[in-house]
């Protein structure tokens, strides 16, 4: 490696007599950094030095890309949480009772208006589910509508007893 005069003096003062480096490149040739190997004696690199330099550079690339991936995932999760919070705010303010139930019957979402209407707290709702909020005479129709939607795989709604069957 050829050093600029100002860096050569600094290297010599610190006991560096030889150095080899390898850029850390992504697959699309973006330079992420450089991995260097220094020697306290003037010499040419051995095959072992070059193999070490190449291997260490690969490990550094893996570590940097992993860190970047984790950071990108964290940003995406933060954006998803913000998006979910915005959606929840919209759903909580629309003038309708909104809930979502999985095919196994577990209720995974109830909006604020549903809690206000039924008087059930979120904790009570997790235990009771949505069925206690439906009038016993309407429950068979609502359950049938749910089975129909589940079988069709389509989203849907039930406008209550006044809607045609």
43 token code pair: 């010499």
Instruction: Count Cβ atoms below 10 Å from residue 59 Cβ, excluding itself.
Output: 12
pLDDT, tens only, 21-73: 999 999 999 999 998 999 999 999 999 999 999 999 999 999 999 999 999 99
- What domains are defined for the chain? 5-75 (3.30.450.40), 95-152 (3.30.450)
CB 32 within 8 A of CB 64: yes
pLDDT, tens only, 10-34: 888 999 999 999 999 999 999 999 9
Q: Whole-model pTM?
A: 0.51
């Amino acid at each position: 490696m050829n050093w600029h005069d100002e860096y050569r003096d600094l290297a010599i003062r610190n006991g560096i007599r030889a150095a080899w480096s390898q850029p850390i490149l992504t697959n699309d040739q973006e330079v992420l950094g450089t991995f260097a190997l220094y020697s306290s004696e003037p010499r040419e690199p051995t095959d072992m030095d070059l193999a070490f330099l190449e291997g260490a550079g690969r490990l550094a690339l893996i570590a940097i890309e992993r860190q970047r991936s984790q950071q990108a995932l964290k940003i995406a999760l933060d954006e998803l949480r913000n998006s979910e919070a915005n959606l929840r705010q919209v759903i909580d303010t629309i003038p309708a009772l909104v809930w979502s139930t999985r095919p196994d019957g577990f209720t995974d979402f109830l909006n604020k208006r549903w809690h206000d209407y039924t008087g059930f707290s979120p904790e009570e709702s997790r235990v009771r589910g949505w069925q206690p909020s439906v009038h016993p005479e309407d429950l068979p129709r609502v359950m049938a509508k749910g089975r129909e939607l589940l079988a069709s795989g389509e989203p849907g709604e039930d406008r209550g007893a006044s809607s045609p069957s």
